Amino acid sequence: MGTPALDSPRRRPLWESIGADLADRVASGEFKDGFPGELALAEAYGVSRGTIRNALRPLRETGFVSAQRGRKPRAIVGGLASAFGPVYSLFASVQESGMTQRSVVLERRLVTDPISAARLALPPTAELLKLSRLRLADEEAFAVDHVWLPADRVRPLMDVDFAETALYKELRERCGITVDGGLEELRADTASALDVERLGCALGAPMFRIQRIGYHRGTAVELRCSHILGERYSVTATFGAGVPGNL
């Protein structure tokens, strides 16, 4: 385990920077085979054990890392959902259900949008990458997804073929961005004429409208608006460590 690179301590407390770095590493799957103890982490980061303990406290409280007395700590798969609600991927959700996922890109262009920029805490004239996709499961349309991202951080995504890949995967691998938290609102609605046109559903069919602001290390990096057919999708969230199985 090499010495990790951290944000400057002048920006935030050192323990907080270490905690954010560990959260990124957990989310990327680095510790799937075992999570280091406090002494090993203190040596790796070159800090005191007390600093490591402070960094681990929020990770333990939110379920990223187990904290059971007498047992070796471990990273919790699905800890992101425990900490922040369902920081999920539609791509992964479809794949995990055993269906084939495919996306049709409806729009991908650089835009200026003062309202979306404000949601991302950016200046009104900030350039954004807008990506709109029709989402299909086993070739049946079930959602339309609109995403706005800070263009200066995601330019490598301009040439990605999104037909059979996940946005979060490409963000992580091409841009070094892991969505590790967020604010999300889910509300019930009915299908509009535009939903009927794109999703082939009946006018007034039940829908989920989901708005999300995704964060990387406390900075907003994603504004997402998803329109999902209620009859073709369900949302299940887990919370806390050691949750067995499904409902």
- What's the mean pLDDT in 93-101? 67
Q: What is the pLDDT of residue 137?
A: 83
pLDDT at 9 over 50: no
| Residue 57: per-residue pLDDT | 80
**What is residue 112's predicted lDDT score, i.e. its pLDDT?**
92
pLDDT of residue 77: 45
Q: What is the pLDDT of residue 15?
A: 87
**Rounded Cα–Cα distance for residues 82 and 140 (Å):** 30
Domain 14-80, CATH 1.10.10.10 — does that match?
Answer: yes
Give which of 182, 176, 175 is closest to 214, Cα–Cα: 182
Q: Give the fold, CATH level 3, of 85-232.
A: Chorismate lyase (3.40.1410)
Tokens 């059971």 -> residue? 68
Q: What is the pLDDT of residue 2?
A: 57
CB 246 within 8 A of CB 236: yes
Question: What does the pLDDT read at residue 13?
Answer: 82
- Percent with pLDDT over 90 in the chain: 36
Report how far apart, in Å, the C-alpha atoms of 207 and of each of 69, 112, 229 are.
45, 28, 5
Q: Which residues contact 161 (CB under 8 A, 6 or more apart)?
A: none
Is the model's pLDDT at 74 over the cut of 80? Answer: no
pLDDT of residue 118 exceeding 50: yes
User: For residue 81, which of 94, 97, 63 has the smallest C-alpha distance?
Assistant: 63
Mean pLDDT along residues 29-53: 89
Report pLDDT for 144: 92
- The yes-or-no verdict on residue 65 having pLDDT over 80 is no
Comparison of pLDDT for 2 and 81, the residue scoring more? 2
pLDDT reading at 36 higher than 80: yes
Task: Check pLDDT > 90 for residue 49.
Answer: yes
Mean pLDDT of 163-169: 88
| Spans of all domains in the chain | 14-80, 85-232
Position 231 scores a pLDDT of 78
Of residues 172 and 11, more confidently modeled: 172
Indicate the pairing of strand 181-190 with strand 101-112: unpaired
Nearest to 22 by CA among 8, 1, 9: 1
Q: What is the mean pLDDT of the chain?
A: 80
User: With 60 as the cut, is the pLDDT of residue 91 above it?
Assistant: no
Computed over its alpha carbons, how large is the radius of gyration of the chain? Answer: 20
For the stretch 127-162, pLDDT in tens is: 999 999 999 888 889 899 999 999 999 999 999 999
Q: Give the pLDDT confidence score for residue 78 in this predicted structure.
A: 42
Instruction: For residues 171-188, give the mean pLDDT.
Output: 88
Residues 6+ apart with CB under 8 A from 152: 127
Q: Region 224-246: what's the mean pLDDT?
A: 70
Structure-model confidence comparison of residues 57 and 41, the more confident one: 41
